[in-house]
Structure 1
Amino acid sequence: MEMERQPHVLLFPFPAQGHIKPMLTLAQLLCHAGIHVTFLNTELNHHLLTQRQALSARFPTLHFHSISDGLPSDHPRTIAVYYQDIVASLRSKTAPLLCQFLISKKNNVDKDSAAAAAAAQLPPLGCVITDGIMCFAIDAAEEVGIPVIVLPITSACSFWCYSCIPNLIQEAQLPFEDEDMDRIVSGVPGMEGLLRRRDLPSICRMPTDHPIMQFYIKETKAITRASALILNTFDDLESSILSHLAPRFSKIYTIGPLHALLKSRIKDDDLSSSSSSAAATASLRQEDRRCMTWLDTQRLGSVIFISFGSLVKLTRVELLEFWHGLVSSGTPFLWVLRSDVLWSDEGEHMGQVIPTELEMGTKERGFIVDWVPQEEVLAHEAVGGFLTHSGWNSTLEGIWAGVSMLCWPKLADQQVNSRCVGRFAKLARNSVSESGSSYHNLQQLIQDLRNL
């Protein structure tokens, strides 16, 4: 009977590391409150998420399922290159599958006997929380008659900029009529005098009729049909922008930084077991923990940490420029250099063109890895600076750790993020304390889900 009183929520992220991580953190927070969560990944990412067992062991009410993305098995699925292919396939082929999935979970019906037995232990699905660029899930939830909440993975500032793009087009500020990227933009209320053209989301460099531009315009408009909005931010960080967003949504839950809120709600003694640690650092990529041992050998605040996230790609020229700069600085550095970081085939012969001085300089003072446990790295006392792409997850993690950030925004919302944030570590810590706004807002979200 107690189990039936708890709600059952579906979480459905866009199939990318930076989207899955905050959604999965929210899943853990909801499960910690006793809520049943079905976490729906595309089939590939479902298998890449090797921490599923550890997560389910830590949170018995967390249930993982997969759904086809509609792409051929041999498709590379590189988001930076094939974004339009992925989005088109999700909207045309995954959407009807999602509708069927929602019906089965709402009615606790499953053709597979084992799955049916498991479903019988769950209450009917009562709510969908979907990604901000997966709005076909809103259509599916509406068709099935299930309330839907949207979780964009961007900052409030960035989300507001995307929302204002139709106004910028109407006011003839988009597309840009010249190449003066420092010209002030006046069509984003609440950010007058702050935003330059170069600070707008990267899609603003596209023609207004470009398919990606049109996709974002439609997605941002569709979000307003959701019953509520969850933002991975906190009130003191973006209060002025939140006031502009408020009239568009019946409810907005600001519950960030999500990763810090999880640590706040799940006490240190609960995170001591190996399963709990794996749950807290769930990733689609294999983390190289040798970097933590290397950091232990470095002086306090001496290391610059470099990561451009899971999607940003570099040209060979850009990579070598960064590398030369890091080696020439004489400063110890830890660099996340993904195996897929270079465009097209530029990486095929990379090993043959690395200058000797870079190899020697890296051996003396650098450490290069494919992926790291970033939250732990930023919290390490040896890290004194963070060279970042300004993705919102990374930005919040940097703010929380109180590490100075050097921003190199490249795409999507990163330009806005790099312009709008500063040193807010103390405010972030206050927000996730028991008397803080994010802590309170999470409690309200949990209560509202129970009341559905």
Structure 2
Amino acid sequence: MENPQAPHVLMLPFPAVGHIKPMLMLGKLLCQAGLSVTLLNTDQNHNNILNPIDQSSFYSRYPGFQFKSLAVGLPPEHLRTGPVVAELLYWITSACSTKFKEYLMVEENEKGQPEPVTCIIADGIMSFTIDIAEEFHIPVITFRTYNSTSTWVYFHLHQLLQNGEIPVQRDEDMDQQITSIPGLETILRRRDLPPFCKLDSTDHLLQFYMGQTSKMKRASALILNTFEELEGPIVSHLHSIFPTVYTIGPLHGLLQSHINHNAPPSDSSETSVRPQDRTCIRWLDSQPSKSVVYVSFGSVVVLTQDQLLEFWHGLVNSGSPFLWVIRPGLVLAENNVAETPSELTIATNERGCIVGWGPQEEVLAHRAVGGFLSHSGWNSTLESIWAGMPMICWPQIADQWINSRCVGEMWRTGLDMKDTCDRSTVEKMVRGLMEDKNEEIRKSTAIYSSMARNSVAKGGSSYHSMSKLIEDIKSIQ
């Protein structure tokens, strides 16, 4: 590496696309600032990240960056979607923690090398790193790839359980307010809590998240991919747990900011672990301004065949052109899958475009796109806010339920469609969003988009927070 005296940051993301992407973007920013960075992934994700990257170009821009892997990959046939996510979480805490400790032992034994690990930035649900790093006297900064509101809710899971607000029973009023979380007493309803809060109190997912969140408190600081103007009051609450909180989002916007005036533009394919089909951009070029509804449910959510057809009918019946990302594995394999009705095929050929994966940031910025039907993953939500794109939210897992409530109630940047996806509701919501029936939403998205861009500009809140993170890492002795 070019600068042998540079602090060396070891980064460990959770092995899922939505977690790896912000970690990689943060690594680039640290590298631009002169730090050495090692991104440590499971072997399969390591290969998936490197495959689309022009490595010669990448390392010329980020000469202090390294990609390394832990040989803990699941068998290829073991999917990382849908019902097996709980199993995957527990697999990580056992297999991955062992390999991570072995990795640090090698680093420790090579102290004569120019770049021992200065600090570790670990995903918030990879908190086993804190136990291991303490043995090696290496400070850990936890990076929660959720927003601050979801993070704050997760810190109150134990209190919700103690106060009897979870588990939520199926026969209870789902619109009843949740009152045990300071700052959110008038915002969250029972239906807005993650699915594992609606199961038995001994559920493994609930116990897992409570355990991981509790361990996070022992980290030296907290990083969040958000910005003060969006979530300032909740960030203030998090300061009661972490004296230092770095709000450095939107990270993809920060990469385009003035952190390094001489840095070349970033390539979005470098943060994607799936090949991008760019034919959709040519299709968008042929569509009228703000006429297209963009549909993507991210990298983990799965649909039944019935849900797929309900969405499809609703989109077609709305009359709007649509760009739909239907990735491999999006639809659950089912026996006796019905053929696609001919009217859907004909309508899609006339005014639709379906791709396996696309350059989402570029799509959301395209002049032809006027709305985003999303699963409410945090990366997608933040990218939509950045682009000033109103949303329809259909959450399915984890923080997505809280994100969709934030979008629909706190920020008024979209519509919350949780708990249903029947074709009439899909049609009604798409029409409402695309036919400018929600003036408040469009005004609010424009305001927050401007705030997001100001936050990453020189002197902005996220720009300042990123600069402080860099300075603090450089000061570690």
TM-score (norm 2): 0.87
Task: Tell me which amino acid in the other structure corresponds to 1:123.
Answer: E
Give the 3 Å change call, closer, same or farther, for CA 329–74 of structure 1 in structure 2. closer
Tell me the distance in 1 between the aligned counterparts of 2:189 and 2:153. 12
Residue 69 of structure 1 contacts residue 93 of structure 1 at CA under 8 Å; is this kept in 2? yes
Residue 2 of structure 2 contacts residue 64 of structure 2 at CA under 8 Å; is this kept in 1? no
Aligned-partner Cα distance in 1 for 2:359–2:185: 37
Displacement of 1:266 in angstroms is 6.5
Question: 2:462 matched to 1:441?
Answer: no
CA distance in 1, matches of 2:359, 2:283: 13
- Compute the displacement of 1:2 (Å): 7.9
The within-5 A match list for 1:361-400 is 361-400=347-386
For residues 223 and 246 of structure 2, the distance between their equivalents in structure 1, rounded to whole angstroms, comes to: 5
**What SS is found at the alignment partner of 2:281?**
helix
| Deviation at residue 179 of structure 1 after TM alignment | 2.9
Q: Report the secondary structure of 2:256's partner residue.
A: helix
Stretch of structure 1 that moved more, 50-59 or 386-395: 50-59
**Partner SS state of residue 312, structure 1:** coil
Alignment map for 1:64-213 (pairs within 5 Å)? 64-69=67-72, 71=74, 73-108=75-110, 120=113, 122-177=114-169, 178-213=171-206
The Cα of 1:82 is off from its aligned counterpart by 1.8
Match of 1:401 among 387, 394, 403: 387
Residue 106 (structure 1) shift: 4.1
Q: 2:27 aligns to what?
A: 27
Deviations 1:198-237 (A, max 9, x none): 1112221121111111000000100000000000001111
User: Who is 2:321 aligned against?
Assistant: 332
State the 1:175 CA deviation. Answer: 1.4
Report the 3-state secondary structure (helix = DSSP H, G, I; strand = E; otherwise coil) of the residue aligned with 1:191: coil
Q: Secondary structure at the match of 2:257?
A: helix
Counterpart AA for 1:207 = D
Superposed displacement of residue 56, structure 1: 2.9
Cα distance in structure 2, aligned partners of 1:79 and 1:139: 28
Note the C-alpha offset of 1:99: 1.1
Distance (Å, rounded) in 1 between the aligned partners of 2:82 and 2:340: 25
Normalising by structure 1, report the TM-score.
0.92
Secondary structure at 1:331 match in 2: coil
Q: Which residue of 2 aligns with 1:296?
A: 285
In 2, Cα distance between equivalents of 1:362 and 1:322: 13
With over 3 angstroms needed to count, the CA separation of the structure-2 counterparts of 1:106 and 1:35, relative to structure 1, is farther
1:220-369 matches, cutoff 5 A: 220-265=213-258, 270-271=263-264, 276-277=266-267, 281-343=270-332, 345-346=333-334, 350=337, 353-369=339-355
- CA deviations 1:423-446 (Å, max 9, x no partner) are 311111111010100000000000
Q: 1:70 to 1:48 in 2, by over 3 A?
A: closer
How big is each residue's C-alpha offset from its partner over 1:379-409, in whole Å with a ceiling of 9 and x where there is no partner? Answer: 0011000011111000000000001111111
Conserved in 2, the CA contact under 8 Å of 1:304 and 1:333? yes
Q: Aligned match of 1:432 in 442, 449, 456?
A: 456
Among 46, 53, 58, the alignment partner of 1:55 is: 58
* Paired residues of 1:3 and 1:123 also in contact (CA < 8 A): no
Which range moved further: 91-100 or 223-232?
91-100
**Residue aligned with 2:346, SS:** helix
Q: Count residues in correspondence.
A: 434
Conservation of the 8 A alpha-carbon contact between 2:268 and 2:359? no
Residues 334-356 of structure 1, C-alpha deviation per residue, up to 9 Å, x if partnerless? 0011120112x22x765x51000
* Root mean square deviation, CA, Å: 1.9
The letter for the 1-side match of 2:95 is K
Residue type of the alignment partner of 1:322: F
| Shift of residue 271, structure 1, vs aligned partner | 3.8
**2:37 matches 1:37:** yes
CA contact (8 A) 2:81 2:302 kept: no
Aligned-partner SS, 1:247 = coil
Determine the C-alpha separation between the residues in 2 that align with 1:237 and 1:412.
21
* Per-residue deviation, residues 21-61 of structure 1 (Å, max 9, x unmatched): 00000001101111100000100111111135253343111
Could you tell me how far 1:267 is from its partner in structure 2?
Answer: 7.0
Query: Residues 34-93 of structure 1: CA distance to partner in whole angstroms, max 9, x if unpaired?
Result: 11000001001111111352533431111000002264x344132323223322222222
- Structure 2 residue ranges without an equivalent (≥5): 412-444
What is the distance in 2 between the residues matched to 1:326 and 1:64?
41
Q: Distance in 2 between matches of 1:245 and 1:8?
A: 27
Structure 2 CA distance, aligned partners of 1:211 and 1:167? 17
Give the aligned partner of residue 417 of structure 1. Answer: 403
